């Protein structure tokens, strides 16, 4: 048998984003569209049709048998699409791929878990959904239960489980799959630290058993630990394919390309729908200077500038922040009372959100912005990673790290909290002052 496990040849995937993004069509829409285009056929332009969006563009690579390959990239880089195509959840628009061996894909843990069913029943259901045979589940059942650490509750409906138990049970099933090729997405980003470690160990075991693994993740630490080879995707293309440290380094540097200001000067290419169009996203600080680097103690302003093309809609501008590990840091909608609940006349608007100082952790932050109309809820634009800025830890002693200058645990935010410390007991056994006073 040849030494290839996965062969991907010129895979491209096109999505169509409707001008006004709808979750699903109704017959009425199509009928009214047809009538409208018929009526307007003399001279006037029809309603703008769907926009094309290439989630993957001409991606080719090969994975050898036994290789463990990581896939990284920013949000919207095409990682998940690649995984969905290889998992046969969606079909590519062009190109082809071959999978050589028994394959299992884990796009999430606990797919198909049903709250009304017991832990025992869910092990069977979830196992079958992941492609296990009943006989195989029977054989591994005790092992799965032991791994999950929920023995006592195995005959309780999982809706009574805590989130942690739920995740542990789900992962226990997944960890006992025995495919030759495993496609994994981000599933380790759940559960408590100790259990995550257990899972990582199990994954490493998998690697040592000569299994081929394609691992999509935002977690740089686990990617570099698990995957000798890493593929970096950006904008649907392969930017780098090589040793893990090279690709991870390229990824971290890559944010510099984005910058703190993003302006769309050409209305034809600016993201937008029929009601509103994005003109610029700017990150700045209090003294109004555009800035890539922001002191951790300083507030950061994120400004969306957009043009309202059609009057009469209540608009909901919003922004999301992701950090460089891809963790979702925060989301916020415009709450300015000036325009809240009021429909907007045409014109150019700027909505600015202030993120207080001493809230974000240090490191690179990616800003995604969007705007949708309120009723009906129609997305006008949503731009991933429209801008980026770097929060710099000053280490001057007045941020949340206090006097500690060593490494921190990597929390997503680092707010400065109000702390009070009092002495409650002295070594000679007398109560501290704060207690005796009461």
Q: Where on the chain is the footprint of other proteins (CB under 8 A)? A: 1-2, 7, 15, 24-28, 84-105, 107-108, 111-112, 114, 116-117, 121, 124-125, 128-134, 136, 177-179
- Whole-angstrom distance, CA of residue 423 vs CA of residue 227: 49
Q: Is 161 helix (H, G, I), strand (E, B) or coil?
A: coil
Q: Are 167 and 113 in contact (CB under 8 A)?
A: no
How far is 83 from 55, CA to CA, in rounded Å? 12
Min. distance of Cβ 126 from other proteins in angstroms? 9
Which of 125, 327 has the CB closer to other proteins?
A: 125
Q: Which is nearer to other proteins, 95 or 228 (CB)?
A: 95
- Least Å from the CB of residue 9 to other proteins: 10
Q: To the nearest whole angstrom, how small is the minimum distance from the Cβ of residue 34 to other proteins?
A: 14
- Four-point Cα dihedral 178, 91, 54, 109, nearest 10: -30
CA distances in angstroms from 427 to 421, 430, 436, 438, listed in the order given? 17, 7, 15, 20
Taking the least distance from each CB to other proteins, the nearer of 124 and 384 is 124
Least distance to other proteins from the beta carbon of 59, Å?
12
Q: How far apart are CA 361 and CA 91, in angstroms?
A: 39
Which residue matches tokens 């949503």?
382
What span, in angstroms and rounded, lies between the C-alpha atoms of 244 and 102? 26
Between 24 and 437, whose beta carbon lies closer to other proteins? 24
The distance of closest approach from Cβ of residue 39 to other proteins in the complex, given in angstroms and rounded to an integer, is: 23
Give 25 or 286: the residue with its C-beta nearer to other proteins.
25
Nearest residue (CB) to other proteins, 89 versus 408: 89
Nearer to other proteins, 88 or 340 (CB): 88
The least distance separating other proteins from the CB of residue 194, rounded to whole angstroms, comes to: 26
For 303, the token pair is 């400004």
The candidate with the shortest Cα–Cα distance to 16, out of 48, 62, 60, is 48
* Separation of first and last alpha carbons in the chain: 80
Quote the least distance from Cβ 151 to other proteins, whole Å: 22
Separation CA 258–CA 266 (nearest Å): 18
Nearer to other proteins by Cβ, of 88 and 342: the residue is 88
Min dist. Cβ of residue 206 to other proteins (A):
14
293: Cβ–Cβ under 8 A, 6 or more apart, which residues? 389, 390, 391, 392
Residues 389, 407: Cα–Cα separation, whole Å: 21
Phi and psi of 248, rounded to 5°?
-65, -40
User: Is residue 333 packed enough to be buried (19+ CB in 10 Å), middle (13-18) or exposed (0-12)?
Assistant: middle
173 and 130 Cβ atoms separated by less than 8 Å: yes
Report the DSSP beta bridge partners of residue 4.
64
Residues 291 and 285 sit within 8 Å (Cβ to Cβ)? yes
Cβ proximity to other proteins, 27 vs 268, nearer residue: 27
When the beta carbons of 136 and 292 are compared against other proteins, the nearer one is 136
Min CB(105)–other proteins separation in Å: 7
Minimal distance in Å, beta carbon 93 to other proteins? 6
């Amino acid at each position: 048998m040849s030494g290839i496990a996965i062969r991907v040849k010129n895979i491209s995937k096109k999505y169509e984003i409707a001008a006004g993004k709808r979750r699903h069509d109704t017959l009425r829409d199509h009928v009214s569209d047809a009538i409208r285009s018929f009526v307007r056929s003399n001279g006037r332009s029809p309603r703008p049709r769907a926009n094309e969006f290439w989630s993957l563009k001409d991606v080719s690579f090969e994975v050898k048998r036994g290789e463990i390959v990581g896939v990284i990239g920013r949000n919207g880089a095409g990682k998940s699409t690649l995984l969905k195509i290889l998992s046969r959840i969606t079909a590519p628009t062009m190109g082809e791929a071959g999978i050589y061996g028994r394959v299992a894909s884990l796009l999430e843990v606990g797919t198909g878990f049903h709250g009304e069913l017991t832990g025992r029943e869910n092990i069977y259901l979830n196992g079958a959904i992941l492609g296990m045979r009943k006989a195989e589940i029977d054989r591994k059942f005790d092992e799965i239960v032991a791994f999950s650490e929920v023995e006592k509750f195995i005959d309780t409906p999982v809706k009574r489980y805590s989130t942690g138990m739920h995740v542990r049970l789900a992962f226990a099933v997944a960890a006992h799959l025995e495919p030759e090729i495993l496609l994994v997405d981000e599933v380790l980003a759940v559960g408590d630290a100790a259990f995550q470690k257990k899972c990582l160990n199990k994954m490493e075991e998998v690697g040592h058993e000569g299994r081929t693994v394609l691992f999509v993740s935002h977690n740089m630490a686990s990617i570099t630990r698990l995957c000798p080879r890493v593929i970096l995707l950006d904008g649907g293309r392969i930017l780098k394919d090589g040793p893990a440290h090279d690709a991870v380094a390229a990824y971290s540097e890559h944010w510099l390309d984005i910058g703190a200001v993003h302006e769309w000067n050409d209305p034809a290419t600016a993201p937008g729908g029929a009601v509103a169009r994005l003109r610029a996203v700017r990150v700045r600080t209090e003294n109004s200077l555009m800035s890539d680097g922001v002191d951790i103690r300083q507030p950061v302003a994120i400004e969306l500038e957009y043009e309202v093309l059609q009057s009469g809609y209540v608009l909901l501008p919003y922004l999301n922040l992701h950090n460089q590990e891809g963790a979702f840091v925060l989301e916020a909608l415009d709450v300015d009372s000036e325009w809240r609940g009021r429909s907007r006349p045409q014109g150019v608007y700027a909505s600015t959100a202030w993120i207080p100082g001493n809230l974000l952790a240090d490191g690179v932050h990616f800003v995604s912005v969007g705007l949708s109309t309120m009723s009906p809820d129609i997305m006008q634009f949503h731009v991933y990673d429209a801008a980026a800025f770097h929060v710099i830890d000053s280490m001057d002693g007045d941020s949340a790290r206090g006097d500690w200058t060593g490494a921190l645990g990597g929390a997503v935010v680092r707010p400065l909290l109000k702390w009070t410390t009092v002495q409650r007991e002295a070594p000679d056994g007398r109560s501290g002052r704060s207690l005796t006073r009461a």
